[in-house]
C-alpha cells in the first residue's frame, strides 16, 4: 500500500495536476485511509469494498476536531482524494476495484451569510473621518459598496465612466463579464462627487479606475479589505468586517424591507435564484428570533 501511495504522489507531481500543498493533502488523506484499512485487518486497497468505505465515512463523522465534528466539506475533500487515487489504480496499475465509483460526497451545509444590522452599518459609515482626503475616499467607497451590493472585484474595477449621475445608475461588469445596471441613492452620489475632486488631485497617471490610492494607482482588493478592517477597529466593532459582508448586508436589508427576491437576484447579478434564496433564510431567522423574544408564550 505504501508503494502505491508513493507512485500515485509521484504521478501527481509529474503531471503538475496540483500544487505541493495539494500533494501533501493527498498524502495525508491516503495515509489516513491506509491506516484505517490496516486497523480493520485489510492489507491491500484492492480488498476495500463499498461497505468498508461507508464504515470509514462513519468513522470520519465520529471524529472530533478543534471546532467539533468533522464538517461535510472536509469529508468531501478526503473522498475526492481517494476517488482520484482509485482512478489512478484503475487506469495505470490495472486494479479492477473502485469502491468510490458511485459514491456521492456529502453536501456541504449551507452557510448563513454574515451581515450587519442597520445601526451597525450606520455606525460604521458615519465613523469615517471625512475631514481627511483618505476619509472622503473611504466614505465614498464604503457607501457605494453598501448602496449597490458590489463584490470587491467589481468595486476596484469600477471606472468613472460607469457612473451615470443623471440617472442614478451604476454599470457593473461582474463574474463572467456579465453586465448589470444597479441604481444608487442620491446620498451615495454626493459622496462620490466629493471624492472625485480628491481623485483628480491624486492622479499621476492616466487610467479609468474610480478608486485610487494617494499615488493615483488603482486600489486593490486587499487594499479595500485593509481599509475596512482599519475602520472597523476605529469604530469599536469587535467583529471581522470584510467586503462581502457589505454585499450580504445589502441583500438582507432589501429583503427585510420588502424587496422582491427576483429583483434582489437581478441587483446582485446572480445567475440562479437559488443563490439569492440564502438571504431569505437570514430574514426568516431574524423573524423567528424576534417572535421568540417578543411573544410571552414563546419565551416560556
**pLDDT tens digits for range 21-79:** 588 889 999 999 999 999 999 999 999 998 999 999 888 888 765 556 777 788 888 89
Query: Lowest-pLDDT range, 22-26, 51-55, 146-150, 225-229?
Result: 22-26
User: CB burial class (10 A; 0-12, 13-18, 19+) of residue 114?
Assistant: middle
* Per annotation, catalytic residue among 50, 63, 175, 222: 175
**pLDDT tens digits for range 211-222:** 999 999 999 999
Q: Is 270 in the active site? A: yes
Average pLDDT, whole number, for the chain?
A: 88
Q: Is 262 in the active site? A: no
- Res 67: pLDDT: 57
Q: Is 299 in the active site? A: no
User: CB burial class (10 A; 0-12, 13-18, 19+) of residue 110?
Assistant: exposed
**pLDDT tens digits for range 186-212:** 999 999 999 999 999 999 989 999 999
Alpha carbons within 13 angstroms on the beta-carbon side of residue 245 total: 18
- Hey, what domains does the chain have and what are their CATH numbers? 2-93 (1.10.150), 118-294 (1.10.443.10)
CA angle 264, 268, 270 (to 5 degrees): 95
**pLDDT tens digits for range 94-118:** 988 999 888 877 665 556 678 898 9
Q: Is 244 in the active site? A: yes
- Which one is predicted more confidently, 287 or 166? 166
Question: What number of other Cβ atoms are within 10 A of residue 199's Cβ?
Answer: 19
Which residue is it, cell 470509514? 56
Q: Whole-model pTM?
A: 0.61
Q: Is 151 in the active site? A: yes
pLDDT higher than 70, residue 277: yes
CA neighbor of 33 nearest in space, from 2, 10, 7: 2
Amino acid at each position: 500500500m505504501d508503494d502505491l501511495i508513493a507512485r500515485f504522489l509521484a504521478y501527481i507531481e509529474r503531471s503538475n495536476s496540483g500544487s505541493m500543498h495539494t500533494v501533501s493533502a493527498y498524502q495525508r488523506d491516503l495515509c489516513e485511509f491506509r491506516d484505517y484499512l490496516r486497523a480493520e485487518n485489510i492489507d491491500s486497497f484492492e480488498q476495500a469494498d463499498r461497505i468498508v468505505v461507508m464504515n470509514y465515512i462513519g468513522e470520519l463523522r465520529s471524529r472530533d476536531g478543534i471546532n467539533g465534528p468533522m464538517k461535510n466539506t472536509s469529508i468531501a475533500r478526503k473522498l475526492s482524494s481517494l476517488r482520484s487515487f482509485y482512478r489512478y489504480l484503475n487506469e495505470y496499475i490495472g486494479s479492477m476495484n473502485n469502491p468510490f465509483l458511485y459514491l456521492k460526497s456529502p453536501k456541504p451545509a449551507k452557510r448563513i451569510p454574515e451581515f450587519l444590522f442597520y445601526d451597525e452599518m450606520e455606525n460604521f459609515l458615519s465613523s469615517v473621518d471625512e475631514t481627511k482626503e483618505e476619509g472622503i475616499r473611504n466614505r465614498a467607497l464604503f457607501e457605494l459598496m453598501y448602496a449597490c451590493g458590489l463584490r470587491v472585484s467589481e468595486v476596484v474595477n469600477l471606472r468613472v465612466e460607469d457612473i451615470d449621475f443623471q440617472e442614478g445608475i451604476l454599470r457593473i461588469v461582474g463574474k463572467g463579464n456579465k453586465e448589470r445596471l444597479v441604481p444608487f441613492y442620491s446620498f451615495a452620489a454626493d459622496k462620490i462627487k466629493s471624492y472625485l475632486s480628491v481623485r483628480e488631485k491624486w492622479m499621476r497617471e492616466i487610467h479609468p479606475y474610480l478608486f485610487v490610492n494617494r499615488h493615483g494607482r488603482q486600489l486593490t482588493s486587499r487594499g479595500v479589505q485593509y481599509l475596512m478592517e482599519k475602520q472597523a477597529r476605529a469604530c469599536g466593532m469587535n467583529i471581522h468586517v470584510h467586503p462581502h459582508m457589505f454585499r450580504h448586508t445589502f441583500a438582507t436589508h432589501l429583503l427585510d424591507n420588502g424587496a422582491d427576491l427576483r429583483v434582489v437576484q437581478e441587483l446582485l447579478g446572480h445567475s440562479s435564484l437559488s443563490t439569492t434564496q440564502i438571504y431569505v433564510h437570514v430574514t426568516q431567522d431574524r423573524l423567528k428570533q424576534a417572535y421568540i423574544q417578543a411573544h410571552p408564550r414563546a419565551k416560556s
